[in-house]
């Protein structure tokens, strides 16, 4: 883009794509804002009327909102903690030279390629089912009563399923980072008399700071909007125990047929996601600066 | 003390023999350079001494104690790596202090030692910087600082100057040599650059194909190369080798004459005749590449400027006292 002419050409050529993306973004946003100011219930057609910010007041004062906000944060935080705390040692193990490593790596990474609905169904019906599940069978082997996972520990069960899906992602990112760690640095640490644990703490972990940041950022974006796993397994219940913001908006729109309130909820979720993103970038973004 | 002895050291990676039995005596306080072409095993030999590789056979003695089963940190050696291998997230101070910290030395003493090492290497203003904020030469000095602060029995250098530009390399060469003399610590230095080897070493080990070809002082290697390989490897430009009838007259299979020991005469009588194919005029020296017919290409070095051009006929007269003779197996014949 050296001359003004090429700059103009570049802008002209980019315009259609940018315009299309802009329309793609602005039309749904504008419609959502518009619906959020209406009394608009699908069960009561023809009664649409302007209600101002009434939908927001209704959504924000709903006790379900605070409960689902809390569930969302617990879910995101727990899955992040589990995937990173287990991902680091797993990546360290996979970085070793072992026979059949390529197959082991493939198996470890496989859960990431299973679609969320399928993995949630597999967990629900084959593993965690209190009568026919594998976990129940194992519990019986030891003479223990079977656990009814989705009734006794519903949020924990959902966290377990989602962690299982995201652990490969964290492991994969951390593994590639480990492979880029300079071999001579480890040898220098060895010459300096560092034990395996010291090498891990002083050399490997600081080297992983940046990929861990990347994992946190990317996982947070996706985990804030988890839906399929909850829909398939618990349907947000029992009560509100596994309802997160995304599921709450869904239930407003398609269980209570209240489009106005759901739109207001959607906008609240956008604002919340931006607040989280703001703090996240402030806290971990420093790590990304070279 | 830092006396290192190798006794029949061998190293194989699977069926590939990298080091085929090395015997070596390195005196305390000496500067020994391992030199050889790529893949000759010089770095492997250094890593065996460091303990970063396990020996397949033989013994490595440091101050008389066999250390083949001793972990690297306990051998009392420190190493400067080719890539420097600085810890990127630690400051210069942290990098230099790391070994001492791992050894569990008190904080005050660490600070004192780090500052002393930094002062020796002119690194004091940079102590709180990160490696990425330093230039290549400064990073090199930090790597050396990390090595000297532990007061090791010997320094091991693995091609430490190969990532620096030519001018800086000459300067660091001098600094490393001076530092080693000042500290009086044994040093083993690996390089493929024979100029580095000749200028820095007290003694040079020439390696080829996993064998030690010759071990001696730089001038010994230059004046009395043990075989064809050492004769060709040491000295720049390379020694000229002549085989056939002329060599037989001298009672050898091959004779070698260094370019600087060939006297150049324009249209002269006697000696070997040829045509200049390339003339390099450096001002201080003139290098001539002469096509000498049946003798092949010969290189001659003339100190000063010599007004010769491609196509000129010259005769080259070897200095009879400086002709090296080699037998069928390539070994040197001494009269």
CATH number at A182 reads 1.10.3720.10
pLDDT of residue B189: 93
Q: Does A182 touch chain B (CB under 8 A)?
A: yes
Q: Does B78 touch chain A (CB under 8 A)?
A: yes
Chain A environment of B88 (Cβ under 8 Å): 207
Compute the average pLDDT of residues A213-219.
87
Q: Does B72 touch chain A (CB under 8 A)?
A: yes
Buried b (16+ CB within 10 A) or exposed e, B60-82: bebeeeebeeeebbebbbbbbbb
pLDDT of residue A285: 65
Compute the average pLDDT of residues A105-121.
87
Confidence of residue A190 (pLDDT cuts 50, 70, 90): confident
Q: Check pLDDT > 90 for residue A2.
A: no
CA distance B257 to chain A (A): 42
pLDDT of residue A75: 92
Of A193, A209, A210, which to mutate for an interface test with B (greatest number of B Cβ within 10 Å)?
A: A193
Q: Check pLDDT > 70 for residue A236.
A: yes
In-domain check, residue A162: yes
In-domain check, residue A290: no
pLDDT of residue A283: 73
Helix residue spans in chain B (DSSP H): 42-50, 92-102, 107-120, 136-148, 166-183, 194-200, 218-223, 228-233, 245-249
Q: Does B102 touch chain A (CB under 8 A)?
A: yes
pLDDT of residue B39: 84
CA nearest B50 in A: which residue? Answer: A191
Instruction: Look at A50 and B206; give whichever has higher pLDDT.
Output: B206
Compute the average pLDDT of residues A223-236.
86
Q: Does A271 touch chain B (CB under 8 A)?
A: no
Q: Check pLDDT > 90 for residue A182.
A: no
Q: Choose the weakest-confidence range: A47-51, A231-235, B100-104.
A: A47-51
CB contact under 8 A, B102 and A198: yes
Q: Check pLDDT > 70 for residue B287.
A: yes
> Do B260 and B216 lie in a common domain?
no
ipTM: 0.80
pLDDT of residue B250: 82
Separation between Cα atoms, residue B70 and residue B55, nearest integer Å: 11
Q: Does B82 touch chain A (CB under 8 A)?
A: yes
> Do B143 and B272 lie in a common domain?
no
Q: Check pLDDT > 80 for residue A36.
A: yes
In-domain check, residue A16: no
Separation between Cα atoms, residue B180 and residue B202, nearest integer Å: 11
pLDDT of residue A76: 92
CB contact under 8 A, B85 and A187: yes
Q: For residue A160, give the nearest of A133, A120, A129, A126 by alpha carbon.
A: A120
Confidence of residue B186 (pLDDT cuts 50, 70, 90): very high
pLDDT of residue A130: 81
CA nearest B144 in A: which residue? Answer: A188
Confidence of residue B215 (pLDDT cuts 50, 70, 90): very high
pLDDT of residue B311: 87
pLDDT of residue A58: 84
Q: Does B85 touch chain A (CB under 8 A)?
A: yes
> Do B21 and B86 lie in a common domain?
yes
Confidence of residue A289 (pLDDT cuts 50, 70, 90): low
Q: Check pLDDT > 90 for residue A85.
A: yes
Q: Check pLDDT > 70 for residue B146.
A: yes
Q: Does B185 touch chain A (CB under 8 A)?
A: no
> Do B301 and B227 lie in a common domain?
no
CB contact under 8 A, A188 and B146: yes
CATH number reported for the structural domain that contains residue B312 in this entry: 2.40.50.140
CB contacts < 8 A (A, B): 60
Compute the average pLDDT of residues A199-206.
89
Chain A environment of B132 (Cβ under 8 Å): 290
Q: Check pLDDT > 90 for residue B74.
A: no
Chain A environment of B89 (Cβ under 8 Å): 206-207, 209
In-domain check, residue A38: yes
pLDDT of residue B162: 85
CA distance A175 to chain B (A): 19
Q: Which residues pair with B79 in a beta bridge?
A: B156
Q: Check pLDDT > 70 for residue A287.
A: no
> Do B87 and B142 lie in a common domain?
yes
CA distance A183 to chain B (A): 8
In-domain check, residue A147: yes
Residue from the list B71, B72, B89 with its beta carbon closest to the beta carbon of A206: B89
Confidence of residue B229 (pLDDT cuts 50, 70, 90): very high
> Do B113 and B226 lie in a common domain?
yes
Q: Does B127 touch chain A (CB under 8 A)?
A: no
Q: A194 is in which domain, residue-wise?
A: 34-260
The number of folded domains in chain B is 2
Confidence of residue A80 (pLDDT cuts 50, 70, 90): very high
pLDDT of residue A280: 80
Q: Choose the weakest-confidence range: B67-81, B96-110, B261-275, B303-317.
A: B261-275
Compute the average pLDDT of residues B194-200.
89
Q: B257 is in which domain, residue-wise?
A: 238-333
> Do B81 and B153 lie in a common domain?
yes
Tell which of B172, B206, B232 closes a domain: B232
The segment with the largest mean pLDDT, out of A73-82, A121-130, A140-149, B192-201, is A73-82
Q: Check pLDDT > 90 for residue B248.
A: no
> Do B67 and B177 lie in a common domain?
yes
Tell which of B183, B202, B232 closes a domain: B232
> Do B272 and B198 lie in a common domain?
no
Beta strands B272-281 and B285-291, pairing class: antiparallel
In-domain check, residue A121: yes
Q: Check pLDDT > 80 for residue A98.
A: no
Q: Does B77 touch chain A (CB under 8 A)?
A: yes
CA distance B80 to chain A (A): 8
CATH number reported for the structural domain that contains residue B9 in this entry: 3.40.50.300
Tell which of B215, B232, B249 closes a domain: B232
Q: Check pLDDT > 70 for residue A288.
A: no
Q: Does B81 touch chain A (CB under 8 A)?
A: yes
> Do B114 and B193 lie in a common domain?
yes
Q: Check pLDDT > 80 for residue A121.
A: yes
Chain B environment of A189 (Cβ under 8 Å): 87, 98
């Amino acid at each position: 883009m050296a001359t003004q002419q090429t700059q103009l050409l570049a802008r002209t050529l980019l315009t259609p794509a940018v315009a299309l993306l802009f329309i793609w973004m602005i039309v749904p946003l504008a419609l959502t804002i518009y619906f959020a100011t209406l009394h608009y219930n699908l069960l009561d057609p023809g009664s649409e009327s302007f209600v101002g910010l009434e939908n927001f007041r209704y959504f924000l004062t709903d006790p379900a909102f605070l409960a689902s906000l809390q569930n969302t944060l617990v879910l995101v935080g727990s899955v992040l903690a589990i995937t990173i705390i287990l991902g680091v040692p797993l990546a360290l193990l996979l970085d070793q030279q072992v026979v059949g490593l390529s197959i082991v790596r493939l198996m470890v990474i496989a859960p990431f390629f299973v679609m969320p609905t399928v993995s949630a169904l597999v967990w629900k019906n084959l593993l965690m089912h209190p009568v026919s599940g594998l976990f129940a069978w194992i519990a019986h082997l030891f003479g223990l009563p079977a656990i009814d996972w989705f009734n006794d520990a519903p949020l924990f069960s959902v966290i377990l399923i989602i962690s299982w899906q995201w652990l490969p992602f964290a492991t994969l990112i951390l593994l590639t980072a480990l492979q880029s760690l300079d071999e001579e640095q480890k040898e220098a640490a060895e010459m300096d008399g560092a034990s395996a644990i010291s090498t891990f703490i002083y050399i490997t972990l600081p080297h992983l700071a940046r990929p861990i940041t990347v994992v946190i950022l990317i996982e947070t974006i996706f985990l804030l909007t988890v839906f399929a796993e909850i829909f398939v397994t618990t349907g947000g219940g029992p009560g509100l125990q596994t309802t997160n913001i995304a599921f709450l908006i869904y239930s407003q729109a398609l269980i209570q047929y209240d489009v106005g309130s759901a739109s207001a909820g959607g906008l609240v979720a956008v604002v919340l996601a931006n607040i989280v993103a703001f703090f996240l970038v402030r806290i971990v973004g420093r790590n990304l600066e070279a | 003390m830092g006396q290192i002895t190798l006794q029949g050291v061998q190293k194989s990676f699977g069926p590939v023999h990298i080091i085929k039995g090395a015997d070596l005596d390195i005196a305390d306080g000496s500067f020994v350079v391992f030199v050889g072409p790529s893949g000759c095993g010089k770095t492997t030999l250094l890593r065996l001494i460091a303990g970063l590789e396990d020996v397949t056979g033989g013994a490595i003695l440091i101050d008389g104690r066999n250390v083949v089963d001793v972990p690297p940190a306990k051998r009392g050696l420190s190493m400067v790596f080719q890539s420097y291998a600085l810890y990127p997230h630690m400051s210069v101070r942290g990098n230099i202090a790391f070994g001492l910290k791992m050894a569990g030395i008190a904080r005050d003493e660490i600070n004192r030692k780090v500052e002393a090492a930094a002062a020796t290497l002119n690194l004091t203003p940079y102590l709180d910087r990160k490696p990425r904020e330093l230039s290549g030469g400064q990073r090199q000095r930090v790597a050396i600082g990390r090595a000297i602060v532990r007061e090791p029995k010997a320094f091991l250098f693995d091609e430490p100057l190969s990532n620096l530009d030519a001018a800086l390399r000459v300067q660091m060469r001098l600094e490393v040599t001076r530092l080693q003399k000042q500290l009086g610590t044994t040093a083993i230095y690996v390089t493929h650059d024979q100029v580095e080897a000749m200028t820095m070493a007290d003694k040079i080990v020439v390696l080829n194909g996993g064998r030690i070809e010759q071990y001696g002082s730089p001038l010994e290697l230059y004046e009395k190369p043990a075989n064809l390989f050492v004769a060709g490897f040491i000295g720049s430009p390379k020694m000229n080798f002549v085989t056939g009838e002329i060599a037989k007259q001298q009672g050898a299979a091959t004779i070698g004459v260094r370019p600087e020991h060939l006297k150049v005469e324009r249209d002269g009588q006697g000696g070997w005749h040829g045509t200049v194919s390339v003339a390099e005029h450096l001002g201080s020296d003139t290098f001539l590449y002469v096509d000498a017919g049946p003798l092949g290409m010969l290189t001659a070095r003339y100190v000063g400027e010599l007004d010769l051009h491609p196509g000129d006929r010259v005769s080259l007269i070897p200095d009879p006292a400086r002709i090296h003779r080699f037998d069928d197996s390539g070994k040197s014949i001494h009269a």
